[in-house]
Chains A and B, each alone.
Chain A
């Protein structure tokens, strides 16, 4: 427990004033605008939207500015704001097959309908600092080429035709929502996917990496990775039909995983799935790997006791706002708690005759 202690008001006010000043930094340097953050730190904005569970680039940019670039603090701000919004409804499930793809690659098929589209990727850059960016930032226009209109088919669809991969059959079961009801075990896949899409990127990456290193290895290939815009459709009760209410950027990753078959399933490829707000492929791939690892039970695989197979461990520790809240609360005053601990240690030492030992030492 902690108790309220009076007397800190002036100190807190001064601390906040200084925080504001430090946030602004040297006033000889131009101030950042929300639009600059939104446009030029887009991947930070995307991460804040994904883990903040709220798609609004301007709000995410504001949160990043307010938090001085501390993305977990920014996510915290977005989560707090999100709770103040009345919810008008839930969208129809987005159709990622109709995505206007900026990027679409497959690590399993070289020549596939729709082709390998690299998009604005860091891949194949040399990871050398580019000092031109420190100077004036005139950018040459990106080349263009005539595009073929039409939807880009999902790679898993090709494998499905041969029956070599498990199906993801159409289903309209309304999903549980962990932002409305507390997260409880056992968690079905819909709940796990919701928890993973808003999970901390670093935590998800670490877990995914652990599966690659052998802790519940599931031999994942990136069957397909796509980034692009999809329409968001929602049923409007007062109209009696669905309309598009907007368009969002998503990253989708489908892994194709080796599977020897089990007591209940034939030998075939299995699937892991990642779908994340914004352009966040590290997160989407990580999500797909962890999703696949967590599916051991429904696929009849052995539980080898790996962290990535432990639903409770994964889901209860993946949320960086919950984690940071509990972690950081220990820095708040615990004077009374600590006082009692102090008394206890003194008492134990008295009983053990430690006082005399210490006196002798002195």
Chain B
């Protein structure tokens, strides 16, 4: 296990959150909170793909399932902080917003950006996930001929 101690855990978490955000959401939250800082592109937004892999039997040898569209970019703030984004779909402006948040999270305003962007984003994603899980739970079969044996 390479991630037993992961100094990048925090950054991984927010980059994952940004990658899965609905279209336009990161930009909306960011722009509501601050005026975007100036930046220069290290890599202008670019659309490509990633090959998604699975494992035979769920746990065995890897195989290729198919690709997923991905947009990536990288930028530098005047402060020198570098922001990266790799997000699902073909969404250049969302990638820009995600990279800006990634860069800002490394600077002095990290706490403010976390509060304004990451916290609500996480709450929304978690609520959406719970809502779906609760619908699934309602379709769970309750056999009444036998004890379930798990309570």
- Which A residues form the contact surface with B (CB < 8 A)? 49-50, 52-56, 58-59, 82, 85-94, 96-97, 100-103, 110-111, 113, 115-120, 142-149, 154, 156, 168-175, 177-179, 189-191, 193-194, 197-198, 231-232, 234, 236, 238-248, 250, 252, 254, 271, 273, 275-277
Contacts and interface: CB of A to CB of B under 8 A. Distances in A.
Interface of B: 6, 8, 12, 15-16, 19-20, 46-70, 72, 74, 84, 86-90, 129-141, 143, 146, 148-150
Given A100-B133, A111-B150, A144-B135, A252 B66 contact: no
A113 B149 CA distance: 9
B137 to A, nearest CB: 4
10 contacts: A85-B47, A85-B67, A118-B141, A148-B137, A169-B59, A169-B60, A172-B62, A177-B51, A198-B66, A236-B84
Contact of B20 (A52, A102, A198, A244): A244
B82 to A, nearest CB: 9
A110 B89 CA distance: 39
Given A93-B55, A273-B57, A85 B63 contact: no
Contacts of A113: 150
Contacts of B67: 53-55, 82, 85, 87
Residues of B contacting A: mostly: mixed
Contacts of A250: 54, 65
A85 B50 CA distance: 9
Contacts of A147: 130, 133-134, 136-137
Contacts of A96: 54-55, 58
B53 to A, nearest CB: 5
Most buried by A among B52, B62, B131: B52
B69 A86 contact: no
Contact of B138 (A59, A142, A170, A234): A142
A100 B132 contact: yes
B102 to A, nearest CB: 10
Contacts of A189: 56, 61, 63
Most buried by B among A169, A232, A236: A232
B146 A111 contact: yes
Given A110-B143, A175-B53, A170 B60 contact: yes
Given A59-B69, A147-B137, A234-B86, A88 B49 contact: yes
Given A115-B141, A236-B86, 4 more contacts: A113-B150, A144-B138, A147-B136, A239-B84
B69 to A, nearest CB: 4
A119 B89 contact: no
Contacts of A154: 58-59
B15 A156 contact: no
B50 A90 contact: yes
A103 B136 contact: yes
7 cross-chain pairs, A with B, having the tightest CB-CB distances, nearest first: A246-B88, A168-B57, A244-B16, A168-B60, A53-B66, A144-B134, A147-B137
Contacts of A50: 66
A86 B49 contact: yes
Nearest to B20: A247
A83 to B, nearest CB: 10
Nearest to B15: A243
B49 A54 contact: yes
